[in-house]
Structure 1
Amino acid sequence: MSSQYLTDSSSIYRSTPTTSNDNRNSRSIATNSSNFARDEKSCSSSSTIRDSSLTSSLPTRRPRTSASTRVGRGGESHSFVVAVIEGRGIASEVGMCFIDLRTSESILSQISDSQTYVKTLHKMNIYDPAEILLSVTSVEPSKSKLCKILEDNLPFATIVPIGRKYFNDSIGLNYIKQYGLEDDSAALILGLTSKFYCLAATAAVLKYIESSQNIFFTNHSIQFKYQGCEGTMMIDCVTARNLELICNINSPNNNQSLYGVLNKTSTSMGARLLRTNILQPLSDAVTINTRLDSVEELTRDEENFFSIQLALKPFQDIDHLITALIQVPRKPTIKHSEQSINNIIILKHTLKLIQILKDSLAGCQNSLLVAIRELLSDSRLITFEDLINEVINKDITYQKSSLGLRNQRCYAVKAGFNGLLDVARQTYKETVNDIYEIVENYNNQYEIPLKIQFSPSTGFYLSTSTDVLNEHQLPLIFINVCKKKKMLTFTTLELIKKNTKINDSLTEVYLMSDKTIEDLISEIRCNIGVLYKASESIAMLDMLTSFAHQCTISNYVRPEFTDTLAIKNGRHPMRECLYTDPFIPNDTYANNATNFQLITGPNMSGKSTYLRQIVLISIMSQIGSFVPAEYASFRMTNQIFTRICNDDNMETNSSTFIVEMRETSYILQNITNKSLVIIDELGRGTSTHDGLGITYAICEELLKTKAFVFFATHFHELTRYLTVCPNVVNLHLEVEIENQSTMKYLYRVKDGSNDDEHYGLRVGKMIGLPNDIIEIASEISYKLKNLIDTNKAKSVSNKMIQRRKALLQLTHQLLQIKRSSNLDKDGFRRYLKMIQEEFVIRMEKIK
């Protein structure tokens, strides 16, 4: 087996979670970007930057309908830098190169995009870049259309203008030859020779990183990956926000999102892979079913599942470790030497964990799990262990505490490589013992119970509780006193001297170990590609284990992929996990004969929840997860569209109606026959007649496609006017009228419309509107209602429409049997007879 199961459309989709350092890193990029911009004044006159602070003067708007919130748990921001360049021909060709400064992940992409740059924004939304590098000619004297769209949809990213001359495809190709992994570079270069724009973007982003960040990579150490849009589902920024795929709209810092519900991963690599897959699900049935097979095996074999889960928990972030190994500073420092020893200790720890994880996969039979096990069994990983054991003492292990890790660093390198190491280490050991003796003398002399504390910045210091002082002051020998609640921290001149001596001895150890460690790291870099593959394998395994865990605790089922959308007792994945009250499941059925479904019902009856439920379950199925239902069948979806939010956008001075018309226009421009569309409450931001007319026209346009459309509306006229179309289905959310002023929401989806119930009047009565207002409103409402032809349901034309619908449904059922039938002759005969009887009964009802 090879890594083919991991590289097609799974392992390449990763993104980076955030620590507190990420924000500082992003700010430092923005600070250095203006310096880099000033350096570009030497370019041609058409590319001259007139203002050295141009970056800070660029306005960034925050439209509420875009992915304006930093996606990710806890308001994550990412350290991706991307260079973007647009072709100048008739076809809009866009080249991009993403590089993550924390994981050294590099994604190349070249896309033939539309004038709205839908695919470009899709890629941007997945990786959420902190910096976007554009040619200075795209920014001034006037901003290009691409620049404006990026500003509007990525308001948290900083636009950095750089000279056009740095977008050079030949230099980009040389960069890939220089930095690309030797195992992958030949095939990658062959495929990229004609991708001039993404090569030009590669040259610009690497030059920018070298100039502004002072980050340099060793040769043949970066894993470049080319990624198009084929084989994946498109989810635009607005849809990702509306569906709360990564973060909750109201509370971005919590886990009330699809990512938060599904994220049971144990490693940072698995969490990043899960995030990227949710934003860009697969559309290849073979790959999806391979994932589903592995999840099914993990759920069946509990022993393997728990052993794999246990083996995954101790892993450090391997991507960050790879970055630390391949990046080299411009000038060597003691800090770098210290960190190099840390990296080797962490690598030694990681290699041991990989062996444990490989053993836990011994009983797996699924092809994807077997491929992961074989990648983790690569002989080069054993070679790494042998190289490390030749240099590092065998008893050196990874320690979580800073003091423990410092001790491990001190004794890491074998003394045989440098005889003076023992002298420096002996000094370190004796000085540490001296500190403990000094503190013991303090305890005896001053009769104060002192505790020895340690911090990486100050070294050893002392602490005691204020309760033991009994209102007495500390002796004057103790200096730098700091009070933290009921604890006092302090030190002495003697301790400061000992800490200085310790640091001097450690510096000697690091300097004498540096050459040995650097030689070891150089040998590891020669085969760094195996660590990339190991990281991808662990990330994939972690994500699959997370799916299996969620399936076990939430009673999910395996989805199927057919030409029909059929969900039995489907549940909203987020709502059922986040609320204690029982969730009311609902069925969903759509095919080519019933692809447009109108949903009506009063406010708070569950229409929006039902719409979101359908899309969320579809996304879960296409990332390889089981779904919350009793049975689920899906048609492969290539793009999802939503029109849900109906709030004003104050920043762009856009009303509710303007916002929804813009989003609807976007849907109409990009919809395909394999799309899944949900629209909630369209046309309510203007007058009733205009809103109804526009909504009707939009529905007619959507009906021209074979996309699955679920349309929730309060315009009950649509449920009558659109019945002339044979593929329109009317549904409603059931409500029980207990008396004239009380309603009970049942949250159940039923066939037909409910336009005769006058729910608005009852809601007004329930909340306490005066009776005279209710009476006048009822009178007007009933008069308007009587204007409609009440005998329409009995008309000849309506019966003809019903017959056409019945024939269309029968045709679709027969075609479906022909495409996918595993029944024997007797079963096939019985099924045809059942369809015949149902058709006869339905036609008799129409008479």
Structure 2
Amino acid sequence: MSEDNDALSTPVMRQYLEIKVLHPDAILFFRMGDFYEMFLEDAKEAALILDITLTKRQNQIPMAGIPYHATESYIARLINAGKKVVVCEQIKSDDPKAKIMQREVVRIITPGTVVEENLLGSYQNNYLSLVLCDKKYVYIAFADVSTAELIYFYLPESDSDRIKDTIQRFSPKEVLYSPESEKYLGPATQDKKLTLTPVRPDFLPDAKTKGIDTVVHVLDAYLKYNYRRHDFKFKSPRLIDESEFLGLDERTIEHLELVENENQKNHTLFGVLNRCVTPQGKRHLKQRILFPSSNPEMIRSHWDKIQILTSFKKERTKLLSLLDEVIDIERVLSRFRGGKASPRDFRGIQKSITSYTQIKTILDEIGFSFSSLHTNLQELNLKFDTRLSEGELPVFLGNSPFLKSGYSKEYDHAILAKEKGKDWILELEEKEKKASGISSLKIRYNKILGYFIEISRGQAKDAPSHFVKKQTLVTGERFTSPELEEMERAILAADEIIEKIEKEEFEYLISACLENFSDFLSLASEIASLDYHISLTICKEEYQWICPEIREDGVIQLVESRHPVVEAFLPMGERFVPNSLDLNPREDAIAILTGPNMAGKSTFMRQVAINQILFQMGSFVPAKFASLPIVDRIFTRIGSGDNLTTGESTFYVEMKETAYILNHYTEKSLILFDEVGRGTSTYDGLSLAWAILEFMGKDFPRAKTIFATHYHELTELEKGNGIFNLYLDTFEKEGEILFLKKVKKGKSKQSFGIYVAKLAGIPSQVTARARELLTGLESKKKEIKIKQEEPSLFGNLVDPELLSKTKSPTEIRILKKLEEIDINKIPPIEALQILEELNRWSKEKE
């Protein structure tokens, strides 16, 4: 133990521990020479994540290290694992007597604050979320440091489900939270890769600061703490008014596979629509998928732009070529703010401004609305033109010329000296040798004397008069000359002059770019929108989508609609079977959808929802005809699984999701239920499903609903309350089943579950026995159904003769009560139970 203490008490380790105690929740990169070293638990954890060697300092302290010049790839892996990284650099000490190198933290890198290109997904927003309580409300902010975007929600604290759902919906990489808001994080805390960061008290403003100003203050304080010497600013905070958008909760986004698919990443709505060529266009597309508009004028404006781009295909091709020259300006400027600029970025900005100007000219010609380039950006481009080298710019200053020839005489001369210095020396050597006739004359260089002329001892006496002696050696004499000294000054000063001038101009151009920050953001927004509309236009043409109509009576009418993702990835030669749907909130509002497994129920339900999303995105839709209303929310209850981390069963999760829908839907919502009630016993599940449909059918006007089920008893509800039946058709011949995937009005004959089991490979003995059991059960069901349909059935049970045999007054009251029951107004499964019980009771009395 004492040896360990001795190892930790060295000056370097004491310095390390002093810094580490301030950052207990992060991996500390401690600069030592050409390496960043990690010690103790940090070393063990990093070695495991980074797959690097774990060694020991002084044979006692766990240690692991990485080269300082290769940090980004290692940092990326730590960030992806949800870790924070503290970068501690060596700095020059003002104390000449200092025994060890001074060190200080220069940057804290967290998953929500990265701006480095290789740490970010090209089109994925990288959100840092902030959750703060404000009296009876909760602020939820989402800041993307890499694009300067800042949006926020203002929700009542009583709506905890909505608060948790909003946080999950944005999939932030890191969540900042105040102590009183921790309870709203919910399931987010279960993701080990999600970084949770408590808000430090010193990040909070004084009591005078209120509302969104508090949010901005906390974010600014956190970023200044992380970046130390750099200042980040966001676009004006934008309050998300959910009434402006079609509401999609996290479950719906996941169930419909809008932007992610665990098995096949491209098999999503985003994957089909993504024809964007710019990163900002891709991000814009993703946001429009997750936030479709509820504004009819906005939707119509999207259609108008698609129509224009459709009419001018040749111009559209030119636009795509120009868009390909546009860089991710938002992220480049954020890197500038974070001290991560590259000279090559200026060329990208220069090309982007030029492309924007050409894009504007084309769009003006075809009547597509597009903003003019701001004068400030035109002037900035002139600065680029007059300053930047015409060749390829370097990744780092000093690697190759950065400035244009002719911009600075001093710079040009320094570049010439650097590039031609050796040639000058050789030329001077040849010149002096020829003029003096001294064959042994050589011009050499060392760090002490610099450049010098060396002549052998035998010929030293013939040195020209303009040579000045510098050093005498046994083997000869060393000289200099006015011309050599002038060359030496130019050559040796070249690097310093180049570095000074390039650094000054580099910082000037960064400052000039950041001065035009808001204009650049407007440019990026216009580019993203154009890229988005071209992408939708390409999809519309490739898949032959049509322009839908907006209707105000709440009716959903789809004629021969298709699922865009399933259709796009069908095997060669297969054709998607289209289907139609009419949902009327006053009449046929709730469709009970029956049919076999594998018949296409889930695909049909999803395609209805995705057509609605495309419509409210301002896209054309995959259908022969579409007349759609604007809906406020889409809810889905499709599939489920256990939540093992919280001990929640499949059925409990199913009921929680169902409860969320029943407590939040409105008459303007679109709801998709798939197999609700299947996670429990048959009687329980059927009763719940029945009660849910009755509950929803009482509303007027009703929410538009598709309720897929294998409970065929539910089809009896078609008699009222806006409920009607749909089914997936099949063709059966000689024991073989063909799933036609066609939706028709009515109810399916059977589920063909045993046939599906056979296709899946269940042993034939099992499926044969199942068929025998099914035949027996269906026979019993038919017998009971006949009894149900006898109008005098209850009367027969309570006739006078039976009553005369009854001695108990209680039994008499029960029988008289049964006379009031209408067998046709209770669920069939309950009728079955009552009839069986009465038959048994009657036999006992007889």
- Shorter-chain TM-score tier: 0.5 to 0.7
Offset of residue 655 of structure 1 = 2.2
- The equivalent residue for 1:311 is 322
- The equivalent residue for 1:584 is 577
Note the residue ranges of structure 2 that are not aligned, 5 or more in a row.
1-71, 89-107, 109-118, 426-489, 793-821, 826-846
User: In 2, are the aligned partners of 1:221 and 1:528 still within 8 Å (CA)?
Assistant: no
SS in 1 for 2:358: helix
Offset of residue 611 of structure 1 = 0.6
- The equivalent residue for 1:495 is none
- The equivalent residue for 1:759 is 752
The answer to whether structure 1 residue 121 and structure 2 residue 165 are counterparts is: yes
Choose from 762, 775, 778 the match for 2:775. Answer: 778
Offset of residue 635 of structure 1 = 1.2
Judged with a 3 Å threshold, the aligned counterparts in structure 2 of structure 1 residues 132 and 507 are, in CA distance, closer, same or farther, namely farther
One-letter amino acid matched to 1:289: R
User: In 2, are the aligned partners of 1:111 and 1:228 still within 8 Å (CA)?
Assistant: no
Judged with a 3 Å threshold, the aligned counterparts in structure 2 of structure 1 residues 27 and 203 are, in CA distance, closer, same or farther, namely farther
Offset of residue 198 of structure 1 = 2.7
Choose from 70, 81, 84 the match for 1:31. Answer: 84
- The equivalent residue for 2:250 is 237
- The equivalent residue for 1:711 is 707
The answer to whether structure 1 residue 622 and structure 2 residue 616 are counterparts is: yes
User: In 2, are the aligned partners of 1:764 and 1:774 still within 8 Å (CA)?
Assistant: no
One-letter amino acid matched to 1:533: S
Alignment of 1:88-103 (within 5 A): 88-89=135-136, 93-103=137-147
Rounded to whole Å, the distance in 2 between the matches of 1:313 and 1:507 is 38
Offset of residue 641 of structure 1 = 0.7
SS in 1 for 2:705: strand
Rounded to whole Å, the distance in 2 between the matches of 1:661 and 1:785 is 32
Alignment of 1:384-783 (within 5 A): 384-393=380-389, 395-396=390-391, 410-413=401-404, 415-417=406-408, 419-428=410-419, 508-562=497-551, 563-580=554-571, 581-592=574-585, 593-705=587-699, 706-720=702-716, 722-739=717-734, 741-754=735-748, 756-757=749-750, 759-763=752-756, 768-769=764-765, 771-783=768-780
Offset of residue 120 of structure 1 = 5.7
Rounded to whole Å, the distance in 1 between the matches of 2:515 and 2:789 is 79
User: In 2, are the aligned partners of 1:133 and 1:159 still within 8 Å (CA)?
Assistant: yes
- The equivalent residue for 1:201 is 215
Rounded to whole Å, the distance in 1 between the matches of 2:648 and 2:234 is 48
Rounded to whole Å, the distance in 1 between the matches of 2:508 and 2:287 is 36
User: In 2, are the aligned partners of 1:265 and 1:545 still within 8 Å (CA)?
Assistant: yes
One-letter amino acid matched to 2:309: L
Judged with a 3 Å threshold, the aligned counterparts in structure 2 of structure 1 residues 33 and 389 are, in CA distance, closer, same or farther, namely closer
User: In 1, are the aligned partners of 2:82 and 2:195 still within 8 Å (CA)?
Assistant: no
- The equivalent residue for 1:380 is 376
Judged with a 3 Å threshold, the aligned counterparts in structure 2 of structure 1 residues 166 and 782 are, in CA distance, closer, same or farther, namely same
Judged with a 3 Å threshold, the aligned counterparts in structure 2 of structure 1 residues 570 and 431 are, in CA distance, closer, same or farther, namely farther
Rounded to whole Å, the distance in 2 between the matches of 1:209 and 1:236 is 29
- The equivalent residue for 2:184 is 146
Choose from 291, 295, 303 the match for 1:292. Answer: 303
SS in 2 for 1:697: helix
Offset of residue 794 of structure 1 = 12
SS in 2 for 1:749: strand
One-letter amino acid matched to 1:582: R
User: In 2, are the aligned partners of 1:94 and 1:120 still within 8 Å (CA)?
Assistant: no
Alignment of 1:8-87 (within 5 A): 23-24=76-77, 26=79, 30-32=83-85, 78-87=125-134
After TM superposition, the structure 1 stretch with the greater mean CA deviation from structure 2, 769-778 or 729-738, is 769-778
Rounded to whole Å, the distance in 2 between the matches of 1:241 and 1:503 is 63
Judged with a 3 Å threshold, the aligned counterparts in structure 2 of structure 1 residues 226 and 685 are, in CA distance, closer, same or farther, namely closer
After TM superposition, the structure 1 stretch with the greater mean CA deviation from structure 2, 758-767 or 725-734, is 758-767
Judged with a 3 Å threshold, the aligned counterparts in structure 2 of structure 1 residues 249 and 794 are, in CA distance, closer, same or farther, namely farther
- The equivalent residue for 1:211 is 225
Rounded to whole Å, the distance in 1 between the matches of 2:785 and 2:358 is 73
Note the residue ranges of structure 1 that are not aligned, 5 or more in a row.
1-18, 36-54, 56-71, 139-143, 174-195, 330-335, 435-500, 801-847
Q: Which has the larger radius of gyration?
A: 2
After TM superposition, the structure 1 stretch with the greater mean CA deviation from structure 2, 377-386 or 601-610, is 377-386
Rounded to whole Å, the distance in 1 between the matches of 2:150 and 2:423 is 45
The answer to whether structure 1 residue 266 and structure 2 residue 266 are counterparts is: no
Rounded to whole Å, the distance in 1 between the matches of 2:780 and 2:594 is 21
- The equivalent residue for 1:344 is 346
User: In 2, are the aligned partners of 1:77 and 1:130 still within 8 Å (CA)?
Assistant: no
Offset of residue 524 of structure 1 = 3.6
Rounded to whole Å, the distance in 1 between the matches of 2:671 and 2:158 is 20
Choose from 173, 177, 181 the match for 1:130. Answer: 173
User: In 2, are the aligned partners of 1:83 and 1:202 still within 8 Å (CA)?
Assistant: no
* CA displacement, residues 299-339 of structure 1 (integer Å, 9 cap, x when unaligned): 122122222222212221111122134x154xxxxxx6xx4
Which of structures 1 and 2 has the larger relative contact order (alpha carbons within 8 angstroms, sep 6+)?
Answer: 1
One-letter amino acid matched to 1:579: L
| Paired positions, count | 622
TM-score normalized by structure 1? 0.67
TM-score normalized by structure 2? 0.67
- The equivalent residue for 2:435 is none
Offset of residue 378 of structure 1 = 2.7
User: In 2, are the aligned partners of 1:421 and 1:512 still within 8 Å (CA)?
Assistant: no
Offset of residue 520 of structure 1 = 3.5
- The equivalent residue for 2:268 is 257
Offset of residue 362 of structure 1 = 2.7
User: In 2, are the aligned partners of 1:110 and 1:198 still within 8 Å (CA)?
Assistant: no
Rounded to whole Å, the distance in 2 between the matches of 1:34 and 1:790 is 81
One-letter amino acid matched to 2:520: L
The answer to whether structure 1 residue 163 and structure 2 residue 200 are counterparts is: yes
- The equivalent residue for 2:260 is 247
* CA displacement, residues 342-366 of structure 1 (integer Å, 9 cap, x when unaligned): 332222122111122222213222x
One-letter amino acid matched to 1:714: H
Offset of residue 638 of structure 1 = 1.1
Rounded to whole Å, the distance in 1 between the matches of 2:173 and 2:213 is 21
SS in 1 for 2:640: coil
The answer to whether structure 1 residue 228 and structure 2 residue 241 are counterparts is: yes
Judged with a 3 Å threshold, the aligned counterparts in structure 2 of structure 1 residues 377 and 137 are, in CA distance, closer, same or farther, namely closer
Rounded to whole Å, the distance in 2 between the matches of 1:262 and 1:203 is 38
